[in-house]
Copies of this chain bind each other. A is one copy, B any other.
Amino acid sequence: MTEIQLTLISDSTGETVNLAAQAAASQFKGCRLEMEIYSFIGRPSDLENLPAEVWEKSDIVVFTLVRNDTRSALLERCKRHGIQAVALLDPLLTVLSGHIGCQPSSRPGEQYIVSADYFSKLSALDFAMQNDDGQSPDRLRNADVVLTGVSRTSKTPTCIYLAYQGIKAANIPLIYKSPAPSSLIEAIEAGRLVIGLTVSATRLVQVRTQRLQSLEREDVETYADRQRIEDEIVEARLLFARYDLPVIDVTRRSIEETAASIRNLIRLKASA
């Protein structure tokens, strides 16, 4: 199996280059890709702090560096060590530059400058934490979206993930053999966007078993019981159908993918 050492270098958090490298790497299943990220490499002198193995072992260096002197210094070193370098954002910067008719500002991390946006994210995160597990049903009127489903359908992680994107998401859990929470019915009747999350029984057994193990508890007998879980899922799906809720099956979806589907539903509703 081919082994490739990929070094990711960023003058900011390294998130962009990391996501891009993960996306690209996932297209080559037959080889082992080792990745190492180095963030906050802003000035040419920061390159001196990189461990020697970067220059000895890297096959490819992928970078997002906006300062020209740092870029040149990196490119020069890569060339000297025979390492291929990919400037991830260059094609996009070139096209933008052409349209706008001016050069990029060359200040690293500009997209993270703390702004009004920062407060709206923090406020959405507060909202998600306070409205986790249906804690404050009277505040649901401020929610951009309300998620519902049985335990461990990833309602909480999805709400919090959405909060980082500035979206106020609340969640209301469904309890087996209990009537639908009145807060849920009120949200539906008020015309809120309420989305049902469902999952396959096999997956839910697996997730709940893991959950019990991580809590070092084995006392909750029915929580991960297959038959009981199947009944719970059916009951939830009947509720979703009765109120004609949009449903997302999270079985083969990561949190990121579920969140992206929810953003699509929010946009659809906004434009309806």
Which residues of A pack against B, CB within 8 Å?
2, 4, 12-16, 19-31, 37, 39-40, 59-60, 62, 64, 66, 84, 86-93, 95-97, 99-102, 104-107, 109-114, 118-119, 121-123, 125-126, 129, 132, 154, 156-157, 160-161, 164, 207, 210-211, 214, 252-257, 259-261, 263-264
Contact = CB atoms under 8 A, between A and B. Distances in A.
A254 B20 contact: no
Nearest to A128: B160
Given A20-B20, A129-B156, A210-B119, A164 B13 contact: no
A27 B207 contact: no
Contacts of A21: 92
Contacts of A100: 2, 4, 28, 30-31
Nearest to A112: B254
Contacts of A91: 86-88, 90-91
B15 A19 contact: yes
Contacts of A22: 16, 111
A60 B19 contact: no
A49 to B, nearest CB: 10
Given A23-B110, A39-B263, A84-B99, 5 more contacts: A13-B260, A16-B16, A37-B263, A39-B264, A123-B214
A216 to B, nearest CB: 10
B30 A89 contact: no
A257 B13 contact: yes
13 contacts: A4-B100, A15-B260, A16-B19, A23-B89, A24-B92, A40-B260, A62-B92, A86-B92, A88-B92, A91-B91, A112-B254, A114-B252, A160-B160
Nearest to A28: B100
A48 to B, nearest CB: 16
A109 to B, nearest CB: 7
**Top 5 A-B residue pairs of the complex, sorted by shortest distance between their CB atoms:** A27-B104, A26-B110, A13-B260, A26-B111, A112-B254
